[in-house]
Structures are given as structure tokens and as C-alpha cells.
Amino acid sequence: MESFSKLSRRGFIRNSLLGAGALTLGSSLSAMANFSGQPKKKLGIALVGLGGYSKGQLAPALQQAQNCYLAGIVTGTPQKATDWAQQYNIPQKNIYNYQNFDSIANNPDIDIVYIVLPVFMHKEYTIRAAKAGKHVICEKPMALNARDCEEMIAACKKANRMLSIGYRLHFEPHTIEVMRLGQKQVFGKLTALENANGFTYRGDPNAWRLKKAMSGGGALMDMGIYAIQGARYTTGLEPIAVKATQEKTRPDFFKEVDETIFWELEFPGGLKTKGKSSYNNNWGYLKAEAEHGYFELEPAYGYGPILGKSTNGAIDFPQINQQAAQMDDFAKCVATNKPTRVPGEEGMKDMRVIDAIYRSLDSGKWEKITV
């Protein structure tokens, strides 16, 4: 069984990575990745919103990407426009603000728009980008609620544009291995799963993340979505109900949004998993137990390194640039007209869970997760 497991593992990871821009893993995997179906040219991506994630992760990742490049930017801050243009050699014609954004429709340099704005703006700019004829990557959480997600999906379908959500971990090899171990029941059926994600928030008390109207919520929206994803992609199932509780140790700071939330998800077949999110605890793990073994990741959700172990020993793969792999895969999907593994529907499923968690906090009861 062990030899079969290793062969299955090798094939599962290899196939997943080839679909995820394996070029970021180095020359050995690069050679395998150059099959037919790769884009003939790099596709242009415009980043909408030049905050910390764009500056610290996405723009540098685009310098490593094989199938796409940083073609344009959208910002409301003139100084950022100047600085980015100089740093990344972005032509003036590819620089937009929020007033002239819709004219991006006339720019053939830009194939994909990546929405990296506060959550309350995701819906508007995804729909506007689709209407402008651009394919869209929207950062997570996808929207303020599942209903908004439905409108975003419908708008992209109407415009015949592809929509993907920024779930970078679906392209990360340790995470892909956890998907295989859980979904393929390598150690038998799962008997328990617990995961958590959070950090101690010491930032600006007036930041948009702490404003409910702008963020939709606190640590659950920002951090908890990873743990919800972890339970879903490890089991390969969709939860049917949830029960949640919360605590606040800093109510004056977290006036409008949640600080720490604990929840239990019920899956078809009776499995119940535990999750938690926080702006007051440094968490980041996924731990699963099965009939004949265990597996876990810790750290599980950061930009790297991702580390893991199981009954069979270390879960050990090359550390990659997750964002480069994510964007490369979407560019390939656009170029070859293949479905993305993280479409808008994936983001909507998470928001249905989050909506139900907030309902459970209000009711104090188990809440069904709508489909």
C-alpha cells in the first residue's frame, strides 16, 4: 500500500502542479511544464489597488511569472502611479485611476484585471472589469456576502469573461498533498479535522479592515476564510451546517467587527470539523486524523514556508512563489480557454459558510449552509 501511495502522491502532485504553473518550481519541473497548451505570449495583468498585498506580493510575483506580466495599474494616488511606473517601467497609457477605469476596455495590452481592493469594492470593480471585456481575478474574500458573489459570477458569464478568486494555496504543493491525503482517503476516512488562522492585530484602529461596511467582518473574513477553505479542500466535501461562538478581549478596538470566532462544521456523512479565526492569536495550522494515520500542516496558510508531516513522515516539497503559480495558471486558463480550478463559484461557497457563521452567532444555534 505504501508504494501505491507514493506513486499516487507523485502523480497527483505532478498533475496538479503542471496545471498550476510548475515553472516556478525550478528547471526540473519547468521542462515538464512546456507541453502544448501553454500561452503563446505573456498576458498582461493590471493590478487594481496598490496596497500592501499588491506591493509586497503580487507585483514581485509577476516578475517571476512565465505566462503573464505586470502590464498596468489602477490607483487613486498620483504618487503611487509615478513610483510604480518608474519601478516597473509601466507606460503612461496603462495607468488608470478610479474615474477613468472603464476606459481600460480600449487597451489591448491588458487581458486580465486583478482586483486588490477593500472587500466592499470587489463586486463593483469585478462587474466593471467584465463589462470592459477583461478577465478577472478577485482577491478573497470574494465579496461582502454570497448574494454579491452571485451577481459577480452572473456579470462575468454575461460578458463571457473568466472569473477566478485569489486562492493561491490551491497551487501550493504541500497543500495539494493535503488535498490528496484527505480526498483520496490515503489513511482511511477522516475522523477529525481542526484548523485555525489568525494573527495579533496591532495596526491602525481606523483601518478599513475594522469597518464592517468596508470589510464585511473582522478576522473571520480576513483569516478564517483560509480555515474554511482548509476544511473544504481537505475533505473534498461541502459543509451542510455550522455552529459558532465568539469572544472579544479588546471590544474597544474591535467595535464593529469580530475578534475571535470558533466554529464547528458538519459535513455529509456525519464528520464534524473544528475551526477558529482571530485578530488576537497567532494561529496557522491544519491537523487531520484518519482511521489509519494523521497529517498536518503548520505553518499552513502563509506565503511560505509551508511545512507538514504525516504518519509516513515529512510532507516535503519545494517552496514556491504561490502568487506566481496562481497567476500563471489563470493566464494559461484564459489563453487556452480552460476552466480555472478556483472560479467565482469557489469564492461563493466560502461566503455561504461565512454568512451562516454570522447567522449562528446571532441565533446561538446550528445554521444550515444554503446551496
Q: List active site positions.
A: 140, 226
Q: How far apart are CA 137 and CA 141, in angstroms?
A: 12
Strands (E), 98-235: 112-115, 135-138, 163-165, 190-200
Q: Quickly count: other Cβ atoms within 10 Å of residue 40's Cβ.
A: 7
CA 59 from centroid of its chain's CA atoms: 16
CA 72 to chain centre: 22
Cβ–Cβ under 8 Å, residues 123 and 144: yes
Burial of 339 (0-12, 13-18, 19+ CB in 10 A): exposed
Residues 6+ positions from 223 with CB-CB distance below 8 Å: 197, 198, 199, 277, 278, 279
d(CA 352, CA 346): 10
Tell me the longest C-alpha to C-alpha distance in the chain. Answer: 61
Nearest to 92 by CA among 103, 81, 101, 77: 81
The type of residue at 345 is E
Q: For the purposes of burial, counting CB atoms within 10 Å of the CB of 15, is it exposed (0-12), middle (13-18) or buried (19 or more)?
A: exposed
Contact between 244 and 261 (Cβ < 8 Å)? yes
